[in-house]
């Protein structure tokens, strides 16, 4: 009898649950759902990428929201725009859970930033599953516009192709024919190693050896000691580390005096915050590819002044990229008149624009790569530095059409937006 | 005994709680609770009932997470079969690990299991072409013959029966003659050996069974998240499940479930509140429990109730023994 009662209760409960709760409610037909836009910045707020993006990117997104409100005033699609943030600690599992929570629980309409390629890919999978928009700024992997591209994911600021194409090609053409590559052993590093190898080889150089290093890592002496013993001796050591790891490897490159042994340093990905934390001497003369530089022209400088007034530091390209991405998303919502993901994506695809960050910018419809002008930069020597943070000399502007992987190559890499 | 009659009531209440969980908390968190609860129960089978502290259970949880993910990705089998395959892999892995580990006891056993788990971690990390290395195994599908499981709320109810079966299996194991022998080994291995039982073989079997249950939990976790990462095989995962088990009360079977609920909820609350020092808080809670309530939450409650009953020995009041208490005492 008792068992029967319990069984009945359980069955009742099952029946109740089966009836209740549908799937997540889709974006409204028109207008802004809940009359509120929620922009979520998901990035590293305490680890090795916290300087180059981190909390200051949240500030940049807040600036974008303020500028949007000031621009449209009463005409804005909604005056209620909230900026929220979460720390993913550069771990793909945490990024995966946080992205799910931001979309589901905190009703985020957009996730921004997400440095660390492995985390970036995890979030892309969530964006696809939840059918919510995702602008990646902080991560570099071309997988985002390759095999793992999807309808709701846009890759914004840079990628490994852009870096390799700029730095690898130029350095090789200028005489650095043989390379030794050290890369961090996760999606970003593996991707950088591949992109650089193909860029170096197509420019007529060779890669003598390529070694993966743990990520994150403090001690790079194994690789730095190995470099001069390689046969043939490489002319260039290409370090693909980023953020705090880059600072370590460069510091140790200088301690081991590899430049005196005839091995030049080439850096795969560098943010201005990296130069700032080590000082220009550590990098002087190094050529690298930059997506944006604060002291490039008046427009950049004016925004950098506003940014500095707010955060006390000059912006990296990730900060400017976050500002720009948030702005372009808000503009797209304004054009579409709704925050429904499909309508916003349609408003973004093929859209051409110029803004603070992107010159000759275009959201390519085929692979969702946002292409824009990139810059070949050289780190100034101490004598050339005129003011704090004045570290770079822009040597060459790489036009948007050449800076990024052609759309056909993305499709060949397996990108199917609706797949 | 009234407790006999109360047993089904507690069970019913527990089932209702399990069914109501995704209504009360965010559904993915509910699934986390279910998976971690089964994982903690699996560990309790070893820690509480066999007296072996495994500090490397992430090896079984994680290897199953990866195996489940790989099976689901490459074969497209329905997820329960993929999870089962993961559990089988975990059990297969447990045979050599268990066989070698039971040669040591106490702290040495814990260290040996930790070493094996770290070995697994490095294998998973280095075997990037299969496991995805640092990137983790992404895009694990939730396949079930065309049923739409994309809503975590729906998926919870498909995953719950597997968790309940796992817990029921653990419950059955500790009540079987085999389970009694395990308890006897915990309390006095020398005497059990003298009685003619092959102690090591029993221990290895306990490890394999525990690994199987941990594997079920790990596989479900991977399917639930659509993702298996290095975190699953990392030693902190082994530590977390030990904390849950000790927090709830070892050797109680229901305690670890309570521990899992509390710890997952605590972490979720802290993370949602944007608090950074999650590990600091769980660590503090753990230290407090070890210092003040050695028996864990449920263990302490049961102990107090038993002591109250013992004081009234002449007229034992029926019903004060919590019905959820497993039959550990009779074996002593």
Rounded to the nearest 10 degrees, how much is the dihedral formed by the CA atoms of A275, A281, A282, A283? Answer: 60
DSSP A28-76: PSSB-GGG-EEEEEEE-SSSTTTTTTHHHHHHHHHHHHHHHHHHHGGGS
Strand order in the sheet with A352-353: A352-353, A361-363, A370-371
Residues 6+ apart with CB under 8 A from B294: B300
* Pairing mode, strands A287-290 and A264-267: unpaired
Do residues B19 and A14 lie in contact, with contact meaning Cβ atoms separated by under 8 Å? yes
**Dihedrals phi, psi of B146, to nearest 5 degrees:** 90, -5
Read off the pLDDT of residues A15-66 as tens digits, 9 standing for 90 and up: 444 444 433 444 444 688 888 999 999 999 888 888 889 999 999 999 999 9
Chain B closest CA to A140's CA: distance in Å? 14
Residue A194 to residue A160: CA distance in whole angstroms: 9
Q: Which of B19, B136, B139 comes nearest A93 by C-beta?
A: B136
Q: How far is CA A52 from CA A270, A404, B324, in A?
A: 9, 22, 54
Residue B167 to residue B121: CA distance in whole angstroms: 27
DSSP A175-241: T--EEEEEEESSHHHHHHHHHHHHHHHHTT-EEEEEEEE-SS-S--HHHHHHGGGSSSPPSEEEE--
Read off the pLDDT of residues A105-135 as tens digits, 9 standing for 90 and up: 899 999 999 998 889 999 999 999 899 999 9
What's the pLDDT score for residue B323? 39
Chain B closest CA to A217's CA: distance in Å? 14
With a pLDDT cut of 90, the percent of chain A lying above it is: 68
Read off the pLDDT of residues A194-237 as tens digits, 9 standing for 90 and up: 999 999 999 999 999 999 998 888 999 999 999 999 989 999 99
Residue B53 to residue A329: CA distance in whole angstroms: 53
Cβ–Cβ below 8 Å for B133 and A117: no
Do residues A378 and A286 lie in contact, with contact meaning Cβ atoms separated by under 8 Å? yes
Six-digit token pair at A375?
Answer: 């810059």
Is the bond preceding B318 in cis, omega lying within 30 degrees of 0?
no
Nearest Cα residue to B152 out of B221, B218, B87: B221
Cβ–Cβ below 8 Å for B276 and A10: no
Residue A354 to residue A37: CA distance in whole angstroms: 24
Rounded average pLDDT over A384-396 = 92
CATH architecture type of domain A161-268: 3-Layer(aba) Sandwich (3.40)
Q: Where in chain A is the domain with CATH 3.40.50.2300?
A: 33-158+296-372, 161-268
E strand spans, chain B: 137-138, 227-228
Q: Is A239 exposed, middle or buried (0-12, 13-18, 19+ CB in 10 A)?
A: buried
Nearest CA in chain B to A89: B276
Q: Set out the domains of chain B in order of their start, with CATH numbers.
A: 26-331 (1.10.3470)
Q: How far is CA A366 from CA A130, A132, A154, A170, A403, in A?
A: 21, 18, 11, 28, 17
Each residue's pLDDT expressed in tens, for chain B with a length of 332 residues: 344 556 788 888 889 999 999 999 888 899 999 999 999 999 999 999 999 999 999 999 999 999 999 999 999 899 999 999 999 999 999 999 999 999 988 899 999 999 999 999 999 988 888 888 777 888 888 888 878 888 889 999 999 999 999 999 999 999 999 999 999 999 999 999 999 999 999 999 999 999 999 999 999 999 998 889 888 999 999 999 999 999 999 988 889 999 999 999 998 888 777 676 777 888 888 888 888 888 888 888 888 888 888 776 554 444 444 434 443 333 33
Residue A265 to residue A282: CA distance in whole angstroms: 10
What's the pLDDT score for residue A373? 96
> Other CB atoms closer than 10 Å to residue B195's CB: what's the count?
11
CA A259 to chain centre: 30
B-chain CB neighbours of A215 within 8 Å are 134
Cβ–Cβ below 8 Å for A13 and B20: yes
What's the pLDDT score for residue B221? 95
CA B147 to chain centre: 28
Residues of A with CB under 8 A from a CB of B: 2-3, 6, 9-10, 13-14, 17-18, 20-24, 46, 86-87, 91-93, 96-97, 100-101, 104-105, 117-118, 121-122, 125, 129, 148, 185-187, 190, 215
Nearest CA in chain A to B22: A17
Q: How far is CA A190 from CA A118, A186, A194, B211, in A?
A: 11, 6, 6, 34
Predicted TM-score (pTM) of the model is: 0.80
Q: Kindly report the CATH number that applies to the domain delimited by A33-158+296-372.
A: 3.40.50.2300
Cβ–Cβ below 8 Å for A100 and B227: no
């Amino acid at each position: 009898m008792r068992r029967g009662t319990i069984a009945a209760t359980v069955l009742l409960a099952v029946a109740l649950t089966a009836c209740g709760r549908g799937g997540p409610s889709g974006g409204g037909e028109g207008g802004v759902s809940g009359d509120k836009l929620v922009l979520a910045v998901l990035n590293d707020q305490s680890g090795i990428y916290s300087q180059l993006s981190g909390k200051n990117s949240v500030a940049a997104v807040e600036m974008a929201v303020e500028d949007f409100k000031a621009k449209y005033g009463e005409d804005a699609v909604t005056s209620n725009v909230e900026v929220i943030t979460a720390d993913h600690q550069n771990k793909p599992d945490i990024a995966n859970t946080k992205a799910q929570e931001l979309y589901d629980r905190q009703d985020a309409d957009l996730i921004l930033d997400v440095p660390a390629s492995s985390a970036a890919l995890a979030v892309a999978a969530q964006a696809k599953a939840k059918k919510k928009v995702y602008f990646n700024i902080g991560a570099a992997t071309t997988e985002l516009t390759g095999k793992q591209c999807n309808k709701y994911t846009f890759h914004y600021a840079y990628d490994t192709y852009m870096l390799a194409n700029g730095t690898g090609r130029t350095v090789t053409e200028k005489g650095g024919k043989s390379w030794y590559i050290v890369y961090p052993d996760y999606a970003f590093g593996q991707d950088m190693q591949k992109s650089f190898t193909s860029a170096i080889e197509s420019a007529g150089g060779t890669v003598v050896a390529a070694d993966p290093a743990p990520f994150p890592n403090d001690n790079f002496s194994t690789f730095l000691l190995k470099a001069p013993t390689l046969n043939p001796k490489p002319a260039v050591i290409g370090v693909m580390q980023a953020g705090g790891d880059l600072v370590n490897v460069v510091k140790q490159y200088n301690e081991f005096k590899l430049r005196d042994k005839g091995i030049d340093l080439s850096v795969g990905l560098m943010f201005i915050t990296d130069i700032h934390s080590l000082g220009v001497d550590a990098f002087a003369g190094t050529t690298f590819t930059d997506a944006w530089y604060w002291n490039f022209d008046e427009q950049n400088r004016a925004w950098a002044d506003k940014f500095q007034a707010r955060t006390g530091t000059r912006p990296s390209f990730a900060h400017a990229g976050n500002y720009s991405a948030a702005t372009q998303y808000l503009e797209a919502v304004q054009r579409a008149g709704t925050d429904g993901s499909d309508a916003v994506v349609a408003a973004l695809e093929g859209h051409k624009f110029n803004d603070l960050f992107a010159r000759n910018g275009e959201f390519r419809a085929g692979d969702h790569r946002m292409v824009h002008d990139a810059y070949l930069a050289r780190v100034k020597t101490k004598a050339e530095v005129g003011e704090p943070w004045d570290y770079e000399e822009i040597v060459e502007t790489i036009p948007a059409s050449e800076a990024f992987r052609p759309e056909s190559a993305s499709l060949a890499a397996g990108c199917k937006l609706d797949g | 005994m009234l407790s006999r009659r109360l047993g089904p009531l507690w069970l019913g209440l527990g089932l209702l709680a399990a069914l109501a969980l995704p209504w009360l908390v965010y559904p993915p968190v509910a699934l986390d609770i279910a998976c971690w609860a089964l994982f903690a129960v699996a560990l309790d089978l070893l820690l509480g009932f066999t007296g072996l502290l495994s500090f490397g259970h992430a090896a079984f949880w994680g290897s199953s997470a990866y195996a489940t993910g790989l099976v689901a990705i490459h074969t497209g089998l329905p997820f329960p079969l993929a999870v089962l395959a993961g559990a089988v892999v975990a059990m297969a892995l447990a045979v050599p690990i268990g066989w070698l580990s039971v040669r040591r006891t106490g702290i040495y056993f814990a260290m040996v299991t930790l070493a094996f788990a770290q070995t697994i971690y490095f294998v998973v990390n280095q075997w990037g072409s299969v496991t995805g290395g640092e990137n983790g195994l992404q895009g694990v599908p939730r396949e079930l013959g065309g049923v739409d499981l994309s809503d975590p709320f729906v998926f919870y109810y498909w995953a719950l029966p597997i968790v309940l079966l796992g817990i029921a299996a653990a419950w059955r194991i500790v009540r079987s003659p085999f389970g009694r022998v395990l308890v006897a080994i915990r309390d006095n291995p020398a005497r059990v050996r003298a009685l003619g039982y092959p102690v090591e073989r029993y221990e290895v079997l306990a490890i394999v069974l525990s690994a199987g249950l941990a594997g079920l939990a790990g596989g479900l976790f991977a399917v639930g998240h659509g993702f298996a990462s290095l975190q699953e095989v990392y030693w902190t995962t082994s530590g977390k499940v030990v904390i849950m088990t000790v927090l709830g009360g070892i050797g109680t079977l229901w305690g670890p479930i309570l521990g899992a609920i509390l710890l997952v909820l605590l972490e979720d609350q802290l993370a949602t509140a944007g608090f950074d020092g999650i590990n600091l808080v769980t660590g503090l809670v753990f230290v407090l429990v070890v210092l003040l309530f050695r028996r864990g939450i449920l263990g302490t409650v049961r102990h107090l109730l038993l002591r109250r009953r013992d004081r009234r020995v002449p007229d034992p009041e029926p019903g004060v023994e919590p019905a959820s208490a497993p039959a550990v005492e009779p074996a002593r």
